[in-house]
Chain A
Amino acid sequence: MMNASRIVVLSLIATAGLAATACATSPMEDASALIGIVYTTRMPSGPIAARPFCTHEGGGMLVIDDAFSDEWAFASIDCRGRTIIALQRFVEAGDGHVTWHILDTLLLPPYQNDYVPDQPHALRLFDTENCELDGRQERYFIALVRWGERDRIDWRTGVEQAWDFDVARGRIVPLSPKRVVCYRPDPP
């Protein structure tokens, strides 16, 4: 009985230690720790087994050579309220689930996901759906944008930061905002 109690106490201490370690990591460390992880996902909001406080929130196949790639994708991962973008490579698929290998990650600054009427100038995450790179929409990239005065004139938003997915190097790479133009979307 004594031994059992000691085991319980030691287990609690170990669990508390792990929790403390998890909480002690910064968002940047969370992003770094995801690199190299292989995980399986069925649908958005599922936890990533190796980092259980991180959830896979969704993703999409990258467009390469004018076709959706079967091999390369990006994912949005939430770790304790912060969004991390991952560049990931297909490993295997089963019945309704897919296994991915994360090659690189990008910690995004906090941004507004919802269209809150009283925050018209909040930072928002856009992608090729509403943006052009060098005047074209040929490959998938992401941009952080903010409404400006100009969107009232020609619907263009301000572009603060943008990133591309370099599958040859397995990296998420910054793009010059000067190369990117994004447009405020039409009302629903």
Chain B
Amino acid sequence: MSTLAWPLERNQIRRSLSNHAFGMVRNGGARAHQGWDLLATPGTPCYAIADGTVKFANLRGALGRMIVLEFEHRGRTLYAAYCHLSTIITGERVQVRRGQRIGHTGNTGNAASMRGDDQHLHFEIRTSLLPGMGLAGRLDPATLLGPAPIGWTFFEGHGQKISTAGVQGLKVVGVNVRERIE
């Protein structure tokens, strides 16, 4: 089983606030947030977190331009959803490799008003084909990738990896630090 890659090179929860992480974290615990919002200026490359098949690559209402990637992880079929993208550079039923660039972040869908440090990739891990409302059919991405990166812990570029000091979060190779993809 290969280690999962991260969806971005730099992974930091938007504004480092827990209500942009996963769970019943909105409206004082009354409403769900179905994934992670990872800070990203429009045009930031997004990567396939695993080998898999693109099952959806299209505009989808409030989620804007969206990719759903089907992949296998520890014997389970799961789905990674990348939302609010500006561009998609893959298509439905196309097979992709872990670490392959598949799109670029943006402000599409109901993220159109996002500016500055609110611009983000909305990233979900789904257990269900059609996951429904609330948290149904979804997993905390931390289940797969490790703790939500509240305060960014590393920068991983292709060919360089720069650690940062004095911030929260874990830095575990193979857990929340993406292996270098050559």
The one of A56, A73, A129 that contacts B93, using a Cβ cutoff of 8 Å: A73
Q: Show 13 A/B contacts (Cβ-Cβ < 8 Å), sorted by A.
A: A60-B58, A61-B92, A68-B55, A98-B92, A98-B94, A115-B62, A115-B113, A129-B61, A139-B130, A185-B62, A186-B32, A186-B33, A188-B84
The answer, yes or no, to whether A125 is at the interface (CB within 8 Å) is yes
Q: Choose, from B40-48, B63-71, B142-150, the stretch at the interface.
A: B63-71
The answer, yes or no, to whether A183 is at the interface (CB within 8 Å) is yes
Taking a contact as CB atoms under 8 Å apart, the answer to whether A63 and B26 are in contact is no
Taking a contact as CB atoms under 8 Å apart, the answer to whether A188 and B57 are in contact is no
Against A, the Cβ 8 Å flags (1 = close, 0 = not) of B73-93 are 000000000001001111111
Taking a contact as CB atoms under 8 Å apart, the answer to whether A115 and B109 are in contact is yes
Residue of B nearest to A143 (CB): B61
Against B, the Cβ 8 Å flags (1 = close, 0 = not) of A113-138 are 11111000000111111100000011
Against B, the Cβ 8 Å flags (1 = close, 0 = not) of A160-188 are 00000000000000000000000101111
Taking a contact as CB atoms under 8 Å apart, the answer to whether A68 and B70 are in contact is yes
In the bound assembly, the distance between CA atoms of A93 and B54 in angstroms comes to 13
Taking a contact as CB atoms under 8 Å apart, the answer to whether B110 and A185 are in contact is yes
Residue of B nearest to A182 (CB): B61
Q: Which residues of A contact B167 (CB under 8 A)?
A: none
The answer, yes or no, to whether A148 is at the interface (CB within 8 Å) is no
Taking a contact as CB atoms under 8 Å apart, the answer to whether B57 and A129 are in contact is no
Q: Which residues of A contact B60 (CB under 8 A)?
A: 127, 129
Residue of A nearest to B57 (CB): A58
In the bound assembly, the distance between CA atoms of A122 and B113 in angstroms comes to 17
Taking a contact as CB atoms under 8 Å apart, the answer to whether B129 and A67 are in contact is yes
The answer, yes or no, to whether B162 is at the interface (CB within 8 Å) is no
Kindly list the 10 A-B residue pairs having the minimum CB-CB distance in the complex, ordered from nearest: A58-B58, A60-B56, A185-B62, A188-B111, A59-B92, A115-B110, A137-B130, A61-B55, A128-B130, A98-B93
Against A, the Cβ 8 Å flags (1 = close, 0 = not) of B6-45 are 0000000000000000000010000111100100000000
Q: Which of A41, A42, A60, A114 has the most CB of B within 10 A?
A: A60
The answer, yes or no, to whether B133 is at the interface (CB within 8 Å) is yes
Taking a contact as CB atoms under 8 Å apart, the answer to whether A58 and B65 are in contact is yes
Interface size on A, residues (CB 8 A): 44
Chain B residues engaging chain A, CB cutoff 8 angstroms: 26, 31-34, 37, 55-63, 65, 68, 70, 84, 87-95, 108-114, 120, 122, 129-133
Q: Which residues of A contact B108 (CB under 8 A)?
A: 114
Take A58-B88, A186-B26 as given contacts and tell me if A125 and B61 are in contact as well, using a CB distance cutoff of 8 Å: yes
Q: Which residues of A contact B33 (CB under 8 A)?
A: 186
Q: Which residues of B contact A96 (CB under 8 A)?
A: 90, 94
Q: Which residues of B contact A60 (CB under 8 A)?
A: 55-58, 68, 92
Q: Which residues of A contact B26 (CB under 8 A)?
A: 186-187
> With contacts A75-B92, A185-B61, A185-B63 known, what are 5 further pairs, Cβ within 8 A?
A44-B58, A60-B55, A63-B130, A66-B129, A137-B130
Residue of B nearest to A125 (CB): B61
The answer, yes or no, to whether A57 is at the interface (CB within 8 Å) is yes
Q: Which residues of B contact A28 (CB under 8 A)?
A: none
Taking a contact as CB atoms under 8 Å apart, the answer to whether B129 and A186 are in contact is no
Q: Which residues of B contact A61 (CB under 8 A)?
A: 55-56, 92-93
The one of B90, B114, B130, B133 that contacts A183, using a Cβ cutoff of 8 Å: B133
The one of A59, A68, A115, A125 that contacts B112, using a Cβ cutoff of 8 Å: A115
Report A108 CB to chain B, min CB distance, Å: 12
